[in-house]
Structure 1
């Protein structure tokens, strides 16, 4: 059998993939897709409307056509369905804030080698430390959660539960959809004080002011007020070191009433830790940005839950975008 001929094409394509990334980032940052969504436009019209240099604008527009994000007809540019759906602010499914969050991570990722040498973050910038970054992060989380929450909540039966704690819930997108899907359920969001205005605005948008409340605090340092029969932790554990994750899960379990359900949603690695791709890459994202954060394997999350006294632990069949998964268990009733 003849061995395949090796060539560097795939490696060079991988190495230069950031060219497309930065082309997308520039277009979102300039709000180009929203401008075009208001009607087919020539390069001159787009440049004039956005204050761009005409020749450079045309080069960007043509590259976006080559990336299948725009379509060019008779020297006018039109959003493709993908761009119109996800990249125009006129669309309720806009994800531009998450793309800008990715853009804000670029400098840290460019120094990944430093983090690998030292094992430490090169630039630990929490979203709350910068207004633009905080907006991109919170709105990005909201956009992504809005896309997944409606279908995700259908996979979890908490119809008999009365009070849900959305721990580190940000704007409370999942709490909102759990309450919408389970009449009679009320919820409490516990997150940083700086998140309150955004969370309360989001809750009001869904007319759930009487159903969902926000309580401010640091779930690592502050006591968790109240008692709940279901606790939801979505994309929380990956931001912290194993010892802090142990504290978080212990505190979540302590806030549960006997017989209550603990549900953890995160990017979950296989137990070999070398698959799937996104959780493996996300571990590196946590390496460059946090002191100790990482993706965790199914076995590691289950061990955290077992150590907190949770029983009947199982992984559900749910598989979300970017290989997120759900592990849940019950706090036992001791007679």
Structure 2
């Protein structure tokens, strides 16, 4: 997918070095798979529900990276991630939850990172006025109507969540031609 490959290029990992990437709520797995394709020594640990991980595993097999693709079945909030990851991916997930729940998950993700590692989050991020650009603003309305407490968060809201979870700083990167953005956060 366009966003998956773009994130793998945006979040540069040191070529030729082994890296461990945790893909939280991996879904189809294509975001982690994009890193495995871009960086031949990356090992992906995809976390999601068991039936969802079957799809991700098949996609890893089709992409030729199944030998570097592991799974971690269960709830993102309950499963033990382990530690020592060079990168944590959180793609299209935080918008389902309220800020307090996001912070709880982000603290857990932060604890799984190795020193010098980071987290990359893909989201629809509206401007601070919350009414522009149109697609992220509309997505915010969709989340308000389709989730108990979800929202499309502004960068300042995401930055605050990451800071409250133990991250030192965050950067916002547009991801054209999509309407989404990547937030890269550093401990």
Per the TM superposition, whether the score is higher than 0.5 is yes
Once the two structures are superposed, the pairs formed by residues 1-335 of structure 1 within 5 Å of their partners are 146-159=1-14, 162-321=19-178, 323-331=179-187
Please say which structure displays the higher CA radius of gyration.
Answer: 1
Cα RMSD after superposing both structures:
1.6
Cα separation, 1, equivalents of 2:126 and 2:75 = 27
Query: Per-residue displacement from partner, 1:77-129 (whole Å, max 9, x unpaired)?
Result: xxxxxxxxxxxxxxxxxxxxxxxxxxxxxxxxxxxxxxxxxxxxxxxxxxxxx
Higher strand content, 1 or 2? 2
Large movers: runs of 4+ above 3 Å: 317-320
Partner of 1:62: none
Larger mean CA deviation between 149-158 and 296-305 belongs to: 149-158
Q: Is the CA contact (8 Å cut-off) linking 1:155 and 1:318 kept in structure 2?
A: no
Higher helix residue share: 1
- Offset, 1:302: 0.7
1:208-263 deviations in Å (ceiling 9; x for gaps): 11111111010123332343111011111111111111111111111111211111
Task: Give 5+ residue unaligned stretches, structure 2.
Answer: none
Question: Is the contact made by 1:165 and 1:228 (CA closer than 8 Å) also made in structure 2?
Answer: yes
Calculate the TM-score normalised by the size of structure 2: 0.91
Q: Which runs of 5+ in 1 are unaligned?
A: 1-145
Change (3 A) 1:326 1:194: same
The alignment's TM-score, normalised by the length of structure 1, stands at 0.52
Q: 2:49 touches 2:75 (CA, 8 Å); kept in 1?
A: yes
CA 1:311–1:192: 2 relative to 1, 3 Å: same
CA distance in 1, matches of 2:43, 2:177: 25
1:262–1:148 Cα change, 3 Å: closer
3-state SS in 2 of match to 1:316: strand
Structure 1 position 161, deviation (Å): 6.2
Q: What's the CA shift for 1:274?
A: 1.6
